[in-house]
């Protein structure tokens, strides 16, 4: 499928919108009431710090809603205003935050059901309005919705679209796209749908396995078994790892994405030599600015003396998980929670350890003076961060 031609055709359709409906002022008060916080603004004005009783709160200097998320949520609110009576669907969570998605459900926005890991579009009719979330949607989903005669409202983050352009260039120049991402994440699924031949690697360790194979130090059957489900149909490592372009899920850890790119560059340089490198390796900078800013702010925060780090965001939020990884890498006690209600009652917290399942920690806050660092993922409203700070302060006074 010529994905570039399809996108051009879709973008010129009268049933496609990616710019909103000019109703920003109409929805501004609703967005402010639901997501903004006077307390968080006061912390920003006070050097990102709050001291009360025995607790000092230190807030990362970049956290929470990014521009792409704000844009997606605002367009979703505008869509409900613009189509007050039509059925409105969304192909996935608008962003990875439970409170934001709950607000959309309260506005009678329907979510495409998923059965056995497969989305069921059977209830969607001609004339329905369908929102594509900030992560984007696969090209196959867009094609289906277009054929059904739906009104498509596209809130895909421009940074995600930038990655799609990169993998389309890989495809045009007959390069295999090696995508640093989580193979079942909505964004990676969308990105791979725009690619030609592709391979998804989760981390540096998986990238090393691929590089070992390129250098002749791998077993074909073991390789195919390891990456089953993470490659394009008919993927042949002996043919498809000769020319490689690197891309990434925009919410992955910046330092790891960069190291993966350098690893492939060194490997192909070793395999083919400097004069042939450009014929075998292609890379573009597709790291999201907002993701980078939040990770940089987190690295600065964990350089401070902290007794505890609280990371706030959806449990399925990739960028939030990577913020927690940074705290853990510095040996700082940390908890990842998705809502203020995870704290209490009593001195306990329900949290999700990195790579683990929900668990309860009790006691939670130790006695004595406490310096607590706080950050939140790019899908977390300030209002949720405020709720967490309130709970922490209440708990510290018990």
Across the chain, the runs of DSSP E, i.e. the strands, are: 16-17, 49-52, 55-59, 88-90, 109-111, 114-115, 118-119, 129-132, 151-154, 176-180, 198-201, 244-248, 281-283, 308-312, 334-337, 349-351, 359-361, 370-376
Active site residue 341: no
- Tokens standing for residue 22: 């000019």
**What is the pairing mode between strands 176-180 and 151-154?**
unpaired
**For the purposes of burial, counting CB atoms within 10 Å of the CB of 161, is it exposed (0-12), middle (13-18) or buried (19 or more)?**
middle
Q: How far apart are the C-alpha atoms of 55 and 59, rounded to whole Å?
A: 13
Q: What is the CA radius of gyration of the chain?
A: 22
Place of tokens 């277009």: 146
What H or E segment, with its residue span, contains residue 254?
Answer: helix 254-272
In order, the DSSP letters of 46-101 are TTSEEEETTEEEEE-SS-S--HHHHHHHHHHHHHHHHSSSS-EEESS-SSS-HHHH
DSSP code of 268? H
Q: How far apart are the C-alpha atoms of 22 and 25, rounded to whole Å?
A: 8
User: The dihedral of CA 344, 345, 346, 351: what is its sign?
Assistant: negative
**Out of 187, 206, 350, 386, which one is annotated catalytic?**
187
**For the purposes of burial, counting CB atoms within 10 Å of the CB of 132, is it exposed (0-12), middle (13-18) or buried (19 or more)?**
buried
Write out the catalytic residue numbers: 187
């Amino acid at each position: 499928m010529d994905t570039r031609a399809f996108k051009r055709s879709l973008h010129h359709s009268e049933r496609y919108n990616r710019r909103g409906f000019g109703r920003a002022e109409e929805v501004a008060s609703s967005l402010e009431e639901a997501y903004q916080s006077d307390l968080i603004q006061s912390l920003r004005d006070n050097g990102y710090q709050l001291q009360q009783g025995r607790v000092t709160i230190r807030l990362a200097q970049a956290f929470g809603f990014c521009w792409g998320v704000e844009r997606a949520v605002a367009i979703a609110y505008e869509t409900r205003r613009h189509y007050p009576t039509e059925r409105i669907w969304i192909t996935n969570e608008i962003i990875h935050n439970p409170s934001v998605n709950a607000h959309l459900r309260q506005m009678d926005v329907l979510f495409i059901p998923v059965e056995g890991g497969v989305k069921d579009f059977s209830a969607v009719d001609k004339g329905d309005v369908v929102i594509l979330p900030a992560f984007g949607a696969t090209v196959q989903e867009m094609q289906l919705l277009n054929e059904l005669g739906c009104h498509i409202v596209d809130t895909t983050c421009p940074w995600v679209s930038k990655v799609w352009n990169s993998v389309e260039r890989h495809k045009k120049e007959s390069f295999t796209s090696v995508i640093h991402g989580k193979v079942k994440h909505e964004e990676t699924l969308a990105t791979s749908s725009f690619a030609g031949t592709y391979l998804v690697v989760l981390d540096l360790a998986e990238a090393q396995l691929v590089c070992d194979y390129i250098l002749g130090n791998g077993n074909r059957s073991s390789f195919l078994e390891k990456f089953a489900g993470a490659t394009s149909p008919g993927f042949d490592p002996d043919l498809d790892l000769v020319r490689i372009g690197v891309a990434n899920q925009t919410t992955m850890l910046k330092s790891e994405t960069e190291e993966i790119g350098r690893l492939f560059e060194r490997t192909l340089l070793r395999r083919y030599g400097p004069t042939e490198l450009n014929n075998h390796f292609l890379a573009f900078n597709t790291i999201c600015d907002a993701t980078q800013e939040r990770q940089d702010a987190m690295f600065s925060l964990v350089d401070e003396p902290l007794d505890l780090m609280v990371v706030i965001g959806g449990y399925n939020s990739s960028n939030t998980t990577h913020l927690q990884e940074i705290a853990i890498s510095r040996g700082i006690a940390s908890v990842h929670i998705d809502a203020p209600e995870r704290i209490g009652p009593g001195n306990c917290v329900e949290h999700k350890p990195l790579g683990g399942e929900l668990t309860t920690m009790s006691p939670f806050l130790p006695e004595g003076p406490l310096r607590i660092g706080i950050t939140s993922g790019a899908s977390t409203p300030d209002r949720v961060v405020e709720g967490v700070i309130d709970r922490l302060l209440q708990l510290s006074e018990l």
